[in-house]
Amino acid sequence: MNTLLRISGIDKLVSFYRFIYFNGPGFVKFSGIGLILVIGLTHMYVFPEHFEAKRYIGLSFAALFAGTLLSALWMLKGLRWGWILGSILCGVAIVGYVVSRTWGLPGLPGAIGRWDEPAGTFAVASELFFIFLYFSIVTGMNVAAPDRRDWHD
Amino acid sequence: MPHLDFPAWIRVTHWINLLFITFLIRSGMEILATHPKLYWNDDCAGGTEWARFTRKTMPEDKLYDTLDQEEDYSSIISMPGHKNLGMGRHWHFISVIGWILCGLVYVVLLFFTGEWHRFVPYSWSIFPTAWEDIVTYMSFNLPELLPGEPYDAVQKLAYGSVVFILAPFQILTGAAQSPAIEARFPWYVKLWGGRQWARSLHFFGLVAFVLFIIVHVTMIAIWGWGQLTSLMIFGEVGNEAWATVISFAIIAGIVLVHIAATQYTLKYPRKVQRGLGAVVQGTRKLLLSPLTSRQDYSKSEITPKHGVNGKPPDADFYKIMAVHDFVDWRLEVGGLVDNPMTFTLEDFRTFPTQQMQRTLHNCIQGWTSIGEWTGIPLRQIVDLVRPLPEARFICFLTMQDNGRDEPSAEGAGQFYEVIPIEMARHPQTLLAYEMNGGPLPIRHGAPLRLRLETQVGFKMAKWIERIEFIDDHAEIGEGMGGWREDNVFYDRDVGI
């Protein structure tokens, strides 16, 4: 990741990023768990109406919810795959939301242009934040339990 | 409820506040840069910080001190930038004074004119209304304003929180970082969880203000820049084009003031030190100088590894004295006194009046440690030597030469510090020769150091070799009252 940032030149633009480090492994871990569960629950909150509109959409929400539960469990156990799964689920959810509002999804033409769904806005914001949180772990800004900082000075 | 509008005093204080808050943020970043680590514990043990804003890592195979950890931030985010803590402090404290005065005028007029209704909610129903407003914002629509008021529920709560909660919070957490206030009222700093909690909370306040500014400006743009700036410039929705131009001109003007102040500070630091210092020192003298230390931390609170700043004298004469447990060391006390005296370390150890105190040490950089100090109250020495009436200051000359001993120092020459003679009479002003129950370690100033508990750490001269009573310090060094004051433009009296 760091190599990618360096080659692309982005690292110079955001060099201030390299000055910021946090040491709250427990806080980060439980923030990630809380966030992914909130994302899953948000989708379940709107599950009934979406299941009624188009079954496959509802079922995909349910699948996403199940995925967030698994992600949370893996994170709780201290497995990095929890974060990876969570990020993938968030990415898919964001793409799905954008596609549904732009090109449209099969059988859901009414969703095109409907950016004014508060639950949708909230979910996308949470998903982006989760992805950023994992990005911050991968790039070293944050550390998630069971990992610890190795600061000696 | 009175008609709520935008009278001239609201508009003027709004833009003045913008100037001060931006100076506070930038100068606050400069202060953070000098010790870019935040802790939850007052021991500030290396590696225990919850955040660090530096890429530096310290060596494991040689001695380093906290001066080596200082960061060099760009002038874009810090005022003036580039390791200028002294200048950053001057700008921070002058901005504090200006911001508080502006805020006081604002709050007094808010209540005097009835305009406080715009910020203070009348019933708990504002919270469900605010929730509905948030849901509306999340649907990318604009909520309704509260009936007869200039804001919606979220805005009312946000602005009210900033004025009545966040601003006082920053003032109170800032005050909790004053050595003078901490020393006189130890319960106050403990109320915040300790000095480092106060520092961390103060940092959160900085972040909150930055986020508020970003959201505030974004919302102004979304709601209608021309319309809303017209209210904040003309007091009514008038010529939106002119309001837009003037608002950008004001912002550009503020940016230019920042640039000019930064350039001037970097080019003429002594002038800024004297100019801003005159106002800040006067305020300190009024509010903080009367405070004396009454600290009594428990033995269990002593920091296992007390922080260190400054390197000991790297000179043969000192090393030879150290090897012989400083039996050859002599402290000369003279100058404008009736009875100049010379003391040995044994004299101090057998002095009839000795004092032990456990106090919180505040480095100007922001780190802290709690230590136990044993020594002779300085007032006892003052009584013995009998200063002449014209003696107004005490100068502590040390064995440290910064050119020789301190590679990180911004300058050379003998380290010295000057204090007003009144501070010598404070109950916990001590000449310490023991620390934490044992002989004073070399790195902490052996054989003798000053403890001046209402001041930041750099005033507490270490490796003392001579004490002089003087009438003025203008002819010593650069005349600013100490080595750090001369070379890195710190203030002389540093109760905060």
Cβ proximity of B314 and B404 under 8 Å: yes
Q: In this complex, do B51 and A22 lie within 8 Å of one another by their Cβ atoms? A: yes
Contact of B419 with B459, CB cutoff 8 Å: yes
* Listed residue (B155, B199, B198) closest to B32, CA to CA: B199
**B208 and B237 together in one domain:** yes
Assign residue B440 the CATH number of its domain.
Answer: 3.90.420.10
Nearest chain A residue to B62 by CA: give it.
A153
CA distance linking residue B175 with residue B198, whole number of Å: 9
Distance CA B234, CA B6 (A): 8
Of B316, B341, B319, B344, which Cα lies nearest the Cα of B330? Answer: B344
- B52-102 pLDDT, tens digit each: 999 988 887 777 777 788 999 999 999 999 999 999 999 999 999 999 999
Are B326 and B475 in a shared domain?
A: yes
Token pair 């508990």 is at which residue? B453
Taking contacts as CB-CB distances below 8 angstroms, the residues of chain B near A18 are 55
Domain assignment of residue B18, yes or no: yes
Q: Output the pLDDT for position A1.
A: 62
For β-strands B429-435 and B449-452, DSSP reports them as antiparallel
* CB-closest option in B36, B46, B138 to A153: B46
Say yes or no: A151 contacts chain B, CB-CB below 8 A.
yes
Q: Is B262 exposed, middle or buried (0-12, 13-18, 19+ CB in 10 A)?
A: buried
Phi-psi region of B303 (alpha: psi -120 to 50; beta: other; left: phi over 0): beta
* Contact between chains at A21 and B52 (C-beta distance less than 8 A): yes
Same domain membership, residue B439 and residue B318: yes
Does the residue B81 lie in any domain?
yes
pLDDT at B68: 83
A18 touches chain B (CB under 8 A): yes
Minimal C-alpha gap between A133 and chain B (Å):
16
Task: Give me the helix-helix angle, B8-34 and B85-113, nearest 10°.
Answer: 150
Write the CB contacts of A95 (distance below 8 Å, at least 6 apart in sequence). Answer: none
B104 in Cβ contact with B20 (< 8 Å): no
| Residue B135 located in a structural domain | yes
Alpha helices in B352-455 (DSSP H): 378-385, 402-405
Nearest to A152 among B60, B136, B140 (CB): B60
And the tokens for B483? 């080595």
Residue B238 within any structural domain of the chain: yes
CB contact under 8 Å between A121 and B52, yes or no, is no
What's the domain count of chain B?
A: 2
For residues B429 and B377, give the distance between their C-alpha atoms in angstroms, rounded to a whole number.
6
Give kind and range of the element (H or E) at residue B429. strand B429-435
Residue B207 shares a structural domain with residue B320: no
Residues paired with residue B337 on neighbouring β-strands, in sequence order: B387
Q: Is residue B464 part of a domain?
A: yes
* Three state DSSP letters for B204-265: HHHHHHHHHHHHHHHHHHHHHHHHHHHHHHCCCCCCHHHHHHHHHHHHHHHHHHHHHHHHHH
Q: Any bridge partners for residue B332, and if so which?
A: B342, B466
The answer to whether residues B263 and B316 belong to one domain is: no
The reply to whether B110 falls in a domain is: yes
Alpha helices in B114-194 (DSSP H): 126-138, 153-161, 167-175, 179-184, 186-191
Helices B240-267 and B8-34 cross at an angle (nearest 10°) of: 30
Cβ-defined contacts of B262-265 (< 8 Å, 24+): B262/B75, B262/B79, B262/B80, B262/B81, B265/B79, B265/B80, B265/B84, B265/B87, B265/B91
Q: Do B275 and B323 sit in the same domain of this protein?
A: no
Separation between Cα atoms, residue B159 and residue B150, nearest integer Å = 12
The chain B residue lying nearest A123, using CA atoms, is B138
Q: How many CB pairs under 8 A join A and B?
A: 49
Beta-strand relationship, B368-377 and B355-362: antiparallel
**Which residues of B have a CB under 8 Å from any CB of A?**
36, 46-55, 57-58, 60, 64, 69, 71, 77, 135-136, 138-141
How far is Cα of residue B68 from the mean position of the Cα atoms in its chain? 19
Q: Measured between beta carbons, which residues in chain B are less than 8 angstroms from residue A20?
A: 51, 53
- DSSP per-residue letters across B9-57: HHHHHHHHHHHHHHHHHHHHHHHHHHS-EE-SSTT--TT--SEE-----
Per the CB < 8 A criterion, the answer to whether A57 and A51 are in contact is yes
Same domain, B210 and B232: yes
Domain final residue, candidates B287, B309, B333: B287
- The boundaries of the domain holding residue B137 are 8-35+70-287
Please tell me the distance in Å from A53's CA to the nearest CA on chain B.
Answer: 20
Do B282 and B326 belong to one domain?
Answer: no
Strand bridging mode B51-52 / B331-335: unpaired
Place of tokens 């620390």: B435
Give the mutation candidate from A17, A18, A21 for the B interface (greatest B CB count, under 10 A): A21
Distances (CA, A) of B181 to B174, B189, B284, B369: 10, 8, 11, 16
Question: What pLDDT, on a 0 to 100 scale, did the predictor assign at position A13?
Answer: 60
B61 domain-assigned: no
Looking from the CA of B247 toward its CB, the CA atoms found within 13 Å total 23
* Chain position carrying tokens 């760091």: A2
Q: According to the model, what pLDDT value does residue B423 have? A: 96
Q: What confidence tens digit (pLDDT) does each residue in A100-119 have?
A: 999 999 999 999 999 999 99
Structure token digits, residue B494: 């540093």
Contact B451, B429 (CB under 8 A): yes
Residue A14: predicted pLDDT: 67
Residue whose pair of structure tokens reads 């008038």 in the numeric block: B238
Q: What is the pLDDT of residue B238?
A: 84
| SS3 state of residue B435 | strand
Assess whether B209 and B355 both reside in one domain: no
pLDDT tens digits for A16-72? 778 999 999 999 999 999 999 999 999 999 999 999 999 999 999 999 999 999 999
CB B109 within 8 A of CB B9: yes
Residues B309 and B353 both lie in one domain: yes
What confidence score (pLDDT) does residue A11 get? 65
Please answer yes or no on whether B50 and A23 come within 8 Å at the CB atom.
yes
Residues B316 and B440 in one domain: yes
Same domain, B271 and B329: no
Q: With an 8 Å Cβ cutoff, are B138 and A122 in contact? A: yes
Report d(CA A150, CA A43) in Å as an integer: 38
Average pLDDT, chain A: 93
| Amino acid B310: pLDDT | 86
Cα–Cα distances in Å, from B422 out to B209, B373, B378, B494? 39, 21, 11, 14
Which residues in B lie closer than 8 A to residue A152 (C-beta atoms)?
Answer: 46-47, 58, 60
Higher pLDDT, A75 or B149: A75
In angstroms, the CA B41 to CA B45 distance is: 8
CA distance to partner chain A, nearest, from residue B157 (Å): 21
- CB–CB of B50 and A151 under 8 A? no
Instruction: Please tell me the distance in Å from A52's CA to the nearest CA on chain B.
Output: 22
Q: DSSP state, B356?
A: E
Q: What is the pLDDT of residue A47?
A: 96
B52/A23 Cβ within 8 A: yes
Query: Would you call the peptide bond into B80 cis, given omega within 30 degrees of 0 as the criterion?
Result: yes
Is residue B266 included in any domain, yes or no?
yes
Q: How far is A144 from chain B (nearest CA, A)?
A: 13
The CA R_g of chain B, rounded to the nearest whole Å, is 26
> What is the C-alpha separation between B359 and B338, in angstroms, rounded?
33
Does the beta carbon of A59 lie under 8 angstroms from any beta carbon of chain B? no
Return d(Cα B26, Cα B3) in angstroms, integer: 37
Strand order in the sheet with B341-343: B341-343, B331-335, B464-470, B393-401, B414-420
Dihedral (C-alpha) B31, B32, B37, B40: value to the nearest 10 degrees?
A: 80
Which amino acid, one-letter code, is at B353? Answer: T
Nearest to A133 by CA among A1, A35, A16, A6: A35
User: Is A153's Cβ below 8 Å from some Cβ in B?
Assistant: yes
CATH of the domain at B94: 1.20.950.20
Chunk chain B into consecutive blocks of 10 residues (it has 496) and report each block's average pLDDT, rounded to whole numbers. 84 97 98 96 94 88 79 94 96 98 97 93 94 96 93 96 98 98 97 98 98 97 95 92 97 98 98 96 94 96 93 96 97 98 96 95 96 98 97 98 85 94 96 98 97 97 98 96 96 94
- Name the residue of chain A whose CA is nearest to B48's CA: A151
Q: How far is A23 from chain B (nearest CA, A)?
A: 5
